[in-house]
Amino acid sequence: MNVADIRREYARAGLSEEDLAADPVEQFRLWLDQAMAVDPMEFTAMTLATADREGRPSARVVLLKGFDERGFVFFTNYESDKARALIENPRAALVFYWSALDRQVRIEGPVEKTSREESEAYFGSRPRGSRLGAWASPQSRPVDGRREIERLLEDAAGRFAEGDIPLPDFWGGFRVRHETVEFWQGRPNRLHDRLRYARLAGGGWRVERLAP
């Protein structure tokens, strides 16, 4: 297979400045609802890009767990590779790609940890097995095979055999505080629509069209 020969045309309606909401969070909410309608299982999947203190980049797919005017939230083990990079270099980029709609959204900005209360509220909503898994997994660290992971899960299940499973001190959320949000709509001839919100120093947003 020659991947250079794989092409498809984008033939959906365009995106104009007049179509946009005044605020990027409201525009994102509209697109997210439309993405959910066509892919109700994976519409919250997003690529998270980070860089450590030496500038070495890394990317992986995580799930969006909340968003509002403060930013976009995901949760992880604070001792994982992504968390260590964010602690060293607290900026990140997010990318949503909804192929069924020929759309992507790019978000960039500084990162902060969510409050303990926010992390506890989300952790308490997870299935019991997922909460046990958070205690069991030394995320991003080498292990001696699958059996070791299963043993760690068994240990966690025995430790919390009765009662609630509390939030680990090493687990919680990060919030990407959006400074720019770009909405990308695929168009014919690769002349895509790209409209970017950029936060103004005095508050509010500037919308600019970018060349495709």
Mean confidence (pLDDT) of the chain = 94
pLDDT at 122: 98
Whether the predicted pLDDT of 193 surpasses 80: yes
What is the three-state SS of 78-110? CCCHHHHHHHHCCEEEEEEEEHHHCEEEEEEEE
DSSP state of 139: T
By annotation, the residues acting in catalysis are: 190
Using the predicted structure, report yes or no on whether residue 74 has a pLDDT greater than 90: yes
Mean pLDDT of 19-24: 95
Is residue 35 pLDDT above 70, yes or no? yes
What pLDDT sits at residue 44?
98
pLDDT at 3: 55
As a whole number, mean pLDDT of residues 157-165 equals: 92
Q: At 95, give phi and psi (nearest 5°).
A: -135, 125
Query: Structural domains in the chain?
Result: 9-126+169-209 (2.30.110.10)
pLDDT value at residue 134? 95
CA 8 vs CA 2, 99, 184: distances in Å: 14, 11, 16
Q: What average pLDDT does the segment 61-81 reach? A: 98
Q: In which band, very low, low, confident or very high, does the pLDDT at 1 lie, cut at 50, 70 and 90?
A: confident
The pLDDT of residue 7 is 61
Instruction: Categorize the per-residue pLDDT at 135 as very low, low, confident or very high, splitting at 50, 70 and 90.
Output: very high
* Predicted local distance difference test score (pLDDT) of residue 12: 78
Contact call for residues 124 and 104 (beta carbons, < 8 A)? no
Q: Give dist(CA 21, CA 126) in Å, integer.
A: 33
Percent of all residues in the chain with a pLDDT value above 90, rounded to a whole number: 86
